[in-house]
Amino acid sequence: MKQEATQAIVSVKKETTSAISEEISVLKEMIEQMSSGYQANEYPAGIDELSKELGGHGVTDAIRYRLMKKLMEQFVLTDEQPSSMSKNETWREQLKELLLNELQPYPIKAISFDKQVLQLVGPTGVGKTTTIAKLAAEATLKKQLKVALITTDTYRIAAVEQLKTYAKILELPLEVAYTVDDLQKAKEKFKEYDLIMIDSAGRNFTDKAYVEELSKVIDFQAEATTCLVLSLTSKYEDMKKIIEQFSLVQMEQVIFTKLDETASLGALLNIPLEKKLGIAYISNGQNVPDDLFTPTASFIVEQVLRGSKHD
Ligand SMILES: Nc1nc2c(ncn2[C@@H]2O[C@H](COP(=O)(O)OP(=O)(O)OP(=O)(O)O)[C@@H](O)[C@H]2O)c(=O)[nH]1
Ligand SMILES: [Mg+2]
């Protein structure tokens, strides 16, 4: 009991500390911006509109301040502009260029399937199982890989049935792992396969003891690719909490789902630029296997800076 209480305090403390450090970074950006000689309300109207457009998508204040500051310094104050374009059009294009540059360090590309294990983790109902089915179809049909499926989501009977249905349609073997021991056995059984895809229940990966036990069976670093699945319909504040909850597992990329259900796409920028995670796929519907694609940085930039004429 005492240990649980201590753990709870430690985790609350951790959350508070990270919230404070984020606040500090926003403040730092704002101070920097003020000391640079101009303020948000002093932007030329066109720049202010671009900032608001990003804000409308839920792009964070800190990112917007940084971008607008760069835009002002690099382009506006130097008044660089091709004569054939209006200022506003030029600034939009220059902001796109800046954003492409900002996104460059983060892997916005498909999973290479070069590691034998691919596990999708994430909160309840985001689309993990559906995405596994889509990816299994891609790996089998397009890449001609020998794919096997394992599910560790045994909390709901329906969850197992759902994956069984996809396994049957795609003619792939499926093992249901109730324990880490079962998982070990299933992995052994599928050792000759090119790709073993593991579907999980959201809660698995937030349990430290489970993740530790699991890491004895799967070498997360050497043999597994782990992707966090996030729904674009979630608020960014909630996504940040989810990322923290799943911080026990190392991952480089997220998969976004439910693009078809929202017009607010700030997370496509916030997650790479603030959380330093790349994007492997975007799911835009319930159809297996069609509604899944790999975005490019240009696609993301175009989505968040489409301007009102496309709305
Ligand atoms: N509109 C839309 N619905 C989706 C998308 N991806 C998945 N869904 C739907 O979201 C619901 C939940 O999908 P699942 O794949 O079962 O989600 P999950 O993360 O495995 O859920 P749990 O196993 O319960 O944690 C299903 O009705 C899916 O068809 C998407 O990109 N767009
Ligand atoms: Mg599921």
Give per-residue pLDDT as tens, 39-77: 555 778 888 999 999 999 999 999 999 999 999 888 766
* Ligand nearest the Cα atom of residue 230: 1
Predicted pLDDT of residue 63 = 96
Q: pLDDT, tens digit, for every residue of 117-157? A: 999 999 999 999 999 999 999 999 999 999 999 999 888 88
Per DSSP, 142 falls in state I
Q: From ligand 2's centre to the CA of 288, what distance in Å?
A: 14
Q: Is 129 in the pocket of ligand 1 (CB under 6 A)?
A: yes
What is the residue with the minimal CA distance to atom 7 of ligand 1?
A: 127
Q: Is 287 in the pocket of ligand 1 (CB under 6 A)?
A: no
Predicted pLDDT of residue 311 = 42
- Mean predicted confidence (pLDDT) in 189-211: 88
Q: Is 153 in the pocket of ligand 1 (CB under 6 A)?
A: yes
Predicted pLDDT of residue 310 = 41
Between CA 68 and CA 25 the distance in angstroms is 16
Q: Which of 261, 262, 279 is nearest to 270 (CA)?
A: 279
Predicted pLDDT of residue 6 = 53
Q: Is 266 in the pocket of ligand 1 (CB under 6 A)?
A: no
Tokens standing for 12? 């609350």
- Mean predicted confidence (pLDDT) in 263-274: 97
Q: From ligand 2's centre to the CA of 109, what distance in Å?
A: 24
Q: Is 285 in the pocket of ligand 1 (CB under 6 A)?
A: yes
Pocket probe for ligand 1: among 121, 126, 129, 130, the residue whose CB has the most ligand atoms within 8 Å is: 130
- Mean predicted confidence (pLDDT) in 10-29: 68
Looking at ligand 1, which atom is closest to the CA of residue 283? 31
Between CA 169 and CA 187 the distance in angstroms is 22
**Residues by chain with Cβ below 5 Å of ion ligand 2:** 128-129, 159
* Ligand nearest the Cα atom of residue 203: 1
State the chain's mean pLDDT as an integer: 88
User: Is the preceding omega at residue 82 within 30 degrees of 0, hence cis?
Assistant: no
Q: Is 151 in the pocket of ligand 1 (CB under 6 A)?
A: no
- Hey, what domains does the chain have and what are their CATH numbers? 2-103 (no CATH), 117-296 (3.40.50.300)
Percentage of the chain exceeding pLDDT 70: 86
- Mean predicted confidence (pLDDT) in 297-307: 95
Looking at ligand 1, which atom is closest to the CA of residue 162? 16
Q: pLDDT, tens digit, for every residue of 98-112? A: 999 999 999 999 999
Q: Which residue has the higher pLDDT, 307 or 293?
A: 293
Q: Is the pLDDT of residue 33 over 70?
A: no
Q: Which residue has the higher pLDDT, 27 or 249?
A: 249
From the CB of residue 101, how many other CB atoms can be counted at a distance below 10 Å? 11
Radius of gyration of the chain from its Cα atoms, rounded to whole angstroms: 22
